[in-house]
Amino acid sequence: MHKPYDEKLIVDNFHELYRLLIQLGYFKSEDILFPGHERHSINEELCQELNLSQEVVSLMKKLPYPVDGYHKPILWQSRAFEYYRDEDILNGRDPEQADTGNELRKDFLLPHEIALTCWLDDGISVILDTKENTIRVIDESDPVHNYRESHACDAPTYIQQIVENIHSLEYVYKIDAEYVDQPGSYNQIQMKRILIEDFNWGTNFREEAWKEQGPEICQRIIDESLADSGYL
């Protein structure tokens, strides 16, 4: 039995997610649009035409978003939808076809469901069911015929784990990068070690020093990884 849907918990976790990514220099503070006076202005008339539930519309207004179609992944090869943009209100109803140029199925998701991310290449689309308070994931590398037949997990637990993976540096978001380094990769191992040992990540993080020295460090690690792989 899942706990009742808690919008504030979802919103707070996304605020923390973006706060960490700004700290790490993956995003600049001006790259993220936080809702003014606790909510964005979105096209509510379009939402009504699409028969979206009040819970979905309310969440759209309160999530932080990357600005102006800034499609960097926030999960592995997966970008956030930006629901202050009409285009993404439409795209978000069919994350499988978003950004493909194919015709969107506007009733692909149920009215009380909202896509939080969609894949960019071979990533995942994360679907929040506000009625069940669950998350279902559509994996581009292994799509299911009907996503609602896939495993549903507790929404707060799932999103909190994403935040924890960033905080623990299990996934590494390098300064100015356009991709996320996965656990166990050379880049992830080296970045985690340097951030903790040299910049005190997790205790008294030397954020200004990291943002000054980080670009050179990140490039060095990338070059080392490419050289080890025989690409340099």
pLDDT tens readout for residues 141-186: 766 667 787 889 999 999 999 999 999 999 888 887 767 788 898 8
3-state secondary structure string across the chain = CCCCCCHHHHHHHHHHHHHHHHHCCCCCHHHEECCHHHCCCCCHHHHHHCCCCHHHHHHHHHCCEECCCCCCEEECCEEECCCCCHHHHHHCCCCCCCCCCCCCCCCCCCCCEEECEEECCCCEEEEEECCCCEEEEEECCCCCCCHHHCCCEEHHHHHHHHHHHHHCCCCECCCCCCCCECCCCHHHHHHHHHHHHHHCCCCCCCHHHHHHHHHHHHHHHHHHHHHHCCCC
| pLDDT at 13 (0 to 100) | 95
> For residue 129, is it within any domain?
yes
Q: How many CB atoms lie within 10 A of CB 63?
A: 24
> For residue 2, is it within any domain?
no
The phi and psi torsions of 33 (rounded to 5 degrees) equal -100, 105
- pLDDT above 70 (res 83): yes
Same domain, 32 and 91: yes
pLDDT digits (tens, 9 = 90+) for 193-227: 999 999 999 999 999 999 999 999 999 998 887 77
Structural tokens at position 30:
């001006």
The phi and psi torsions of 135 (rounded to 5 degrees) equal -120, 135
Same domain, 112 and 46: yes
* Prediction pTM value: 0.90
Same domain, 156 and 178: no
Same domain, 77 and 134: yes
Same domain, 143 and 217: no
Same domain, 40 and 74: yes
> For residue 1, is it within any domain?
no
What is the C-alpha end-to-end distance of the chain, expressed in Å? 53
Rounded CA gap, 176 and 29, in Å? 12
Mean local confidence (pLDDT), 12-19 = 95
| pLDDT at 109 (0 to 100) | 94
Same domain, 121 and 192: no
Structural tokens at position 225:
């990884």
The CB-side HSE value for 1 (13 A sphere, CA atoms) comes to: 1
CATH number for position 83: 3.40.1580
> For residue 118, is it within any domain?
yes
| pLDDT at 145 (0 to 100) | 62
> Residues 27, 72: contact at Cβ < 8 Å?
yes
| pLDDT at 92 (0 to 100) | 93
- Indicate the helix (H) or strand (E) that contains 139: strand 134-139
> Residues 175, 207: contact at Cβ < 8 Å?
no
Give the whole-number percent of the chain exceeding pLDDT 90.
54
> For residue 126, is it within any domain?
yes
Highest-confidence segment of 1-5, 46-50, 183-187? 46-50
pLDDT digits (tens, 9 = 90+) for 29-48: 999 998 876 678 899 999 99
* Structural domain range at position 86: 7-166
Domain boundary among 166, 186, 210: 166
The CB-side HSE value for 176 (13 A sphere, CA atoms) comes to: 11
Rounded CA gap, 120 and 123, in Å? 6
Same domain, 69 and 135: yes
Domain boundary among 166, 201, 219: 166
> For residue 208, is it within any domain?
yes
Count of structural domains, the chain? 2
Confidence of residue 231 (pLDDT cuts 50, 70, 90): low
Same domain, 162 and 78: yes
